[in-house]
A and B are shown apart, each in its own frame.
Chain A
Amino acid sequence: MSRAARPDQTKYKTSEVVDFVVVGSGAAGGILAKELSTNGFSVVVLEQGPYIHESEFSHDEIKILQEDFLTNHPKLQPNTFRKTPKEKAKPQRALVYGRAVGGTSNHFTANFWRFHEIDFIERSKIGAVAGSTLVDWPITYADLEPYYTKVEWEVGVSGLAGASPFDPPRSKPYPMPPLPVKGSGVVFERAARKLGWNPFPAPMAILSQPRAGRSACVNCGFCLGFGCEVKAKSSSLASMIPLAEKSGKCEIRPNSYVHKIEVDERGRATGALYFDEKKNVHLQRAKAVIVSANGAETPRLLLLSASGKYPDGLANSSGLVGKNLMFNTSAISVAVMEEPLNDYKGFAVSRVLHDFYELDANQVGFCGGGGLDARFDITPIGFAFGGLPPGSPRWGKDFKALLAHNFTRSFEIFGHGTSLPVEDNSFSIDPDVKDAWGLPALRLTYKDHPDDLKLAHWLADRSSELLEATGAKQHWTFPIDEQQFGVHLLGTCRMGKDPKTSVINADHQTHDVNNLFLCDGGSFVTSGRGQPTMTIMALAFRAADRLRDLAKRGELNA
């Protein structure tokens, strides 16, 4: 029996005007639900996807990767893609996000790097970048630091404070030691040190020790893409949702697909209109609406909420809803070692380096920066499809022999980096394609800034150098192409002081509708260096504090 069906759960009537309706139960929504409900506010969380209990999680790769058990399904919710606004978009899967209670935090890698100071003030530091809308955040690292610490302690992050010489200042150490090192981590660490770089134990949102009734990681190996059945992965589902429910003030309502934010004649949000499991439509009334539906679904919902009063979409007087999308840059190199690593055991990443976090544009010839991690995040079937070197046989005796040799001996270096904001890169609504509910589909428009592609090649070159120093038998890099598919969905409802150039203010309040708030990857102003969830969670803790203060001052009931 799912937890949602338990009779002791708090329930609200749709006609009841609750304090907050939160759209989405992922990294941000789960934290907002917990923070607001434990502070005494009545909260209804409307989640598109089902309520899947940890006991229903599975190691079945078909279920996860083919049937989208935890994620958006391309048949029910098709997407379209084009490179530039001049083109007509064609049907193509454009994104993966978690579509269940807990959202994408159920299946993430759990790489939990804090942003550094530079990520908030890069525009001031490096100046304007041609072809990019790069600006500073309205908040700084110092504003967010207490909330990063809160994520580490309340959600659960393992790591070693002070291990990286490039780490920004912190007010507290990690609450738990790092996870055990993997073979890939040892090989990476030794080679990086030969090159004079500074590898360190990866900060991971996975418990290295039992905590808050949750198990420590058992190193099962089905991590990235999969839900954690022992609750060691610090998803919203494992860490925050249970506390929200326990407060007695929060109802998590799954299978509730919000498609419109309702507004009254004064232009204030009155609630969220949603389809239930049987496609019946309901309006959940609320004093304030928070949308944490991710950097694609949040702008889509605002655009779908266009009305007579707001013909271009809700909270879109800037015209920037959905724009300035950033996916993060990545480059993947693979090595085959002489001896077995058995890197399929455990979580994905155990060692990271940040020596390239801030690069000198005059020296490298592009703007941006990134980090490298050592990992193996690919499960058996995925490995058979894409884990062997280029030019390998695809079937038959030699294919089988190579699979048998390489599976235990392979690991990857994953380079992660900045994407520069470009206004044309966006999620919008497709004029023709509809989803299974008859709603306009998400349309992706994306073309990497030239500097992003240069950065990807530059990171791949560093990975190759490092792999050369490991003494690997063989190594190669996956082709680096322009991206047309995303999992990090950032920047589409950017935060800022000026209503003309941003969608929300530093309190996550939309500039146009003062009881409508947005908090997720869409709130980002810059992309960071490729690990957004830690910052999404920190922003959510901070947003909850801001909302509590606004509510106390009566500013939500104006």
Chain B
Amino acid sequence: MAAAGATWATANWPAVVAAAEHAHKAAAWPESQKLEFLTPAEAKEVEAISACIIPSDGTPGAREAGVVYFIDRALVTFSADEQKTYREGLPEIQKRLQHLFPTETVFSAAAPEKQVAVLESLDEAGSKNPPRRPRANFIAGTAAQFFETIRAHTLAGFLIDPESDRRGNSGGVGWAVIGHLPEHGFQPPFGYYDKGYAGWQPASAAKESAKND
């Protein structure tokens, strides 16, 4: 079921984007999508920030994956400690926007390139840090900064198991983007390199059969 959903969303992507854009411009937070922590105004800003972190371009992004709902629920469950980070961080984003672009007042209403410029100015860690292999607790510890927190939440909300109750990766679109199929089991061959593999042979036999090829 989820597989069909994800495939459909990818195949029909331009139409989905157009519909989402339209819905977004219609402004008011949809009544059907209940929020558990964020106010509708905050949710709109969170959604705009997450959409810069994983944009909707040729394929679905954070917006279509419903990352904002994942974050909203995270803030009353496993990341309840981060409520303050959001409550204090969101106004900081607006201040930063006004500082950089005095004519702008609301992040979500600013042009995409202005939004990106604001976030770049906040991304102190930058892209120079070599990645560390996360063993556990990849969200804790980076929480000191609002940008780090919302970046972590956005990545998690985009790629979480869509069958979980976390409200992220809606319709499995995040997994579809990275090529992770939603099935619960697979049969080999799994990919390009194991297709046509003849089976394991001892080194001497493998050498012999290579000679005969």
Bound Cα distance A186, B188 (Å):
12
CB-CB < 8 A to A68: which residues of B? Answer: 136
Bound Cα distance A280, B126 (Å):
50
B178 at the interface (CB under 8 A from A): yes
Q: Are A65 and B180 in contact (CB under 8 A)?
A: no
Selected contact of B131 from candidates A65, A388, A407, CB within 8 Å: A388
Selected contact of A400 from candidates B57, B166, B184, B191, CB within 8 Å: B57
CB-CB nearest in chain B for A388: B131
Q: Which of A54-62, A293-301, A460-468 contacts B (4 or more CB under 8 A)?
A: A54-62
B39 at the interface (CB under 8 A from A): no
Taking residues whose C-beta sits less than 8 angstroms from the other chain, chain A's interface range is 35 or more
CB-CB < 8 A to A96: which residues of B? Answer: 135-136
Q: Are B160 and A61 in contact (CB under 8 A)?
A: yes
A109 at the interface (CB under 8 A from B): no
Q: Are B131 and A404 in contact (CB under 8 A)?
A: no
CB-CB < 8 A to B158: which residues of A? Answer: 384
Q: Are B186 and A345 in contact (CB under 8 A)?
A: yes
Q: Are A400 and B200 in contact (CB under 8 A)?
A: no
CB-CB nearest in chain A for B165: A60
Q: Are A403 and B137 in contact (CB under 8 A)?
A: no
Q: Are A65 and B59 in contact (CB under 8 A)?
A: no
Bound Cα distance A394, B200 (Å):
40
Taking residues whose C-beta sits less than 8 angstroms from the other chain, chain B's interface range is 35 or more
Q: Are A394 and B164 in contact (CB under 8 A)?
A: no
Q: Are B186 and A332 in contact (CB under 8 A)?
A: no
Q: Are B206 and A339 in contact (CB under 8 A)?
A: no
Bound Cα distance A341, B179 (Å):
11
Q: Are B161 and A61 in contact (CB under 8 A)?
A: yes
B165 to chain A minimum Cβ distance, whole angstroms, is: 8
CB-CB nearest in chain A for B202: A163
A293 to chain B minimum Cβ distance, whole angstroms, is: 20
A61 to chain B minimum Cβ distance, whole angstroms, is: 6
A210 at the interface (CB under 8 A from B): no
Q: Are A62 and B164 in contact (CB under 8 A)?
A: yes
- A182 and B164 in contact (CB under 8 A), knowing A198-B203, A394-B123? no
A227 to chain B minimum Cβ distance, whole angstroms, is: 14
Bound Cα distance A469, B16 (Å):
44
Q: Are A219 and B191 in contact (CB under 8 A)?
A: no
B54 at the interface (CB under 8 A from A): yes
A221 at the interface (CB under 8 A from B): yes
Fill in one digit per residue for B138-169: 1 if any A CB lies within 8 Å of its CB, else 0: 11100000000001101110111101101000
B53 at the interface (CB under 8 A from A): yes
Q: Are A382 and B190 in contact (CB under 8 A)?
A: no
Selected contact of B191 from candidates A58, A221, A389, A408, CB within 8 Å: A408
A/B pair count, beta carbons within 8 Å: 195
CB-CB < 8 A to B187: which residues of A? Answer: 219
CB-CB < 8 A to A220: which residues of B? Answer: 184-186
Q: Are B151 and A395 in contact (CB under 8 A)?
A: yes
B51 to chain A minimum Cβ distance, whole angstroms, is: 11
Bound Cα distance A451, B212 (Å):
45
Q: Are A385 and B134 in contact (CB under 8 A)?
A: yes
CB-CB nearest in chain B for A377: B133
A160 at the interface (CB under 8 A from B): yes
Fill in one digit per residue for A183-204: 1 if any B CB lies within 8 Å of its CB, else 0: 1111101000100001011000
Q: Are B179 and A219 in contact (CB under 8 A)?
A: no
B132 at the interface (CB under 8 A from A): yes
CB-CB nearest in chain B for A382: B134
A530 at the interface (CB under 8 A from B): no
* A contact face: mostly helix, strand, loop, or mixed: loop
A178 at the interface (CB under 8 A from B): yes
- A61 and B203 in contact (CB under 8 A), knowing A380-B174, A394-B125, A395-B119? no
Fill in one digit per residue for A75-101: 1 if any B CB lies within 8 Å of its CB, else 0: 000000000000000000100100000
Q: Are B161 and A343 in contact (CB under 8 A)?
A: no
CB-CB < 8 A to B184: which residues of A? Answer: 218, 220
B55 at the interface (CB under 8 A from A): yes
Bound Cα distance A397, B154 (Å):
14
Selected contact of A340 from candidates B133, B164, B192, CB within 8 Å: B192
B181 to chain A minimum Cβ distance, whole angstroms, is: 8
Q: Are A66 and B138 in contact (CB under 8 A)?
A: yes
Bound Cα distance A396, B50 (Å):
9
Q: Are B191 and A342 in contact (CB under 8 A)?
A: yes
Q: Are A60 and B166 in contact (CB under 8 A)?
A: yes
A390 at the interface (CB under 8 A from B): yes
Q: Are A407 and B178 in contact (CB under 8 A)?
A: yes
Q: Are A397 and B55 in contact (CB under 8 A)?
A: yes
Q: Are A65 and B136 in contact (CB under 8 A)?
A: yes
Bound Cα distance A408, B181 (Å):
10
Bound Cα distance A383, B155 (Å):
10
CB-CB < 8 A to B206: which residues of A? Answer: 193
Q: Are A380 and B200 in contact (CB under 8 A)?
A: no
Bound Cα distance A321, B78 (Å):
36
A300 to chain B minimum Cβ distance, whole angstroms, is: 20
Bound Cα distance A221, B182 (Å):
10
Q: Are B166 and A62 in contact (CB under 8 A)?
A: yes
CB-CB < 8 A to A67: which residues of B? Answer: 78
Fill in one digit per residue for B62-99: 1 if any A CB lies within 8 Å of its CB, else 0: 00000000000010001000000000000000000000
Q: Are A384 and B164 in contact (CB under 8 A)?
A: no
B39 to chain A minimum Cβ distance, whole angstroms, is: 24
CB-CB < 8 A to B136: which residues of A? Answer: 65-66, 68, 71, 93, 96
- A62 and B188 in contact (CB under 8 A), knowing A71-B136, A185-B194, A478-B133? no
CB-CB nearest in chain A for B177: A404
Bound Cα distance A388, B129 (Å):
11
Selected contact of B140 from candidates A66, A384, A386, A397, CB within 8 Å: A66
Q: Are A404 and B178 in contact (CB under 8 A)?
A: yes
A180 at the interface (CB under 8 A from B): yes
Q: Are B152 and A385 in contact (CB under 8 A)?
A: yes
Q: Are A342 and B59 in contact (CB under 8 A)?
A: no
- A60 and B130 in contact (CB under 8 A), knowing A96-B136, A396-B52, A485-B135? no
A126 at the interface (CB under 8 A from B): no
Interface of chain A residues 150 through 200 with chain B (CB within 8 A) = 160, 163, 178, 180-187, 189, 193, 198, 200
Chain A residues within CB distance 8 Å of chain B: 58-63, 65-68, 71, 74, 93, 96, 160, 163, 178, 180-187, 189, 193, 198, 200-201, 218-221, 332, 337, 339-346, 378, 380-397, 399-400, 403-404, 407-408, 478-479, 485, 487
Minimum-distance CB pairs A-B, first 8: A218-B185, A339-B192, A390-B130, A342-B191, A60-B164, A183-B193, A380-B159, A407-B178
Extra inter-chain contacts (18) besides given A59-B161, A189-B200, CB under 8 Å? A58-B161, A61-B159, A61-B160, A163-B200, A180-B188, A180-B194, A181-B188, A186-B194, A220-B185, A332-B133, A346-B190, A382-B138, A385-B138, A390-B131, A394-B126, A396-B53, A399-B54, A400-B55
A-B contact pairs, 15 of them (CB 8 A): A183-B190, A198-B203, A341-B194, A345-B191, A380-B175, A385-B155, A386-B132, A389-B131, A390-B130, A391-B130, A392-B131, A393-B127, A394-B126, A400-B54, A407-B179
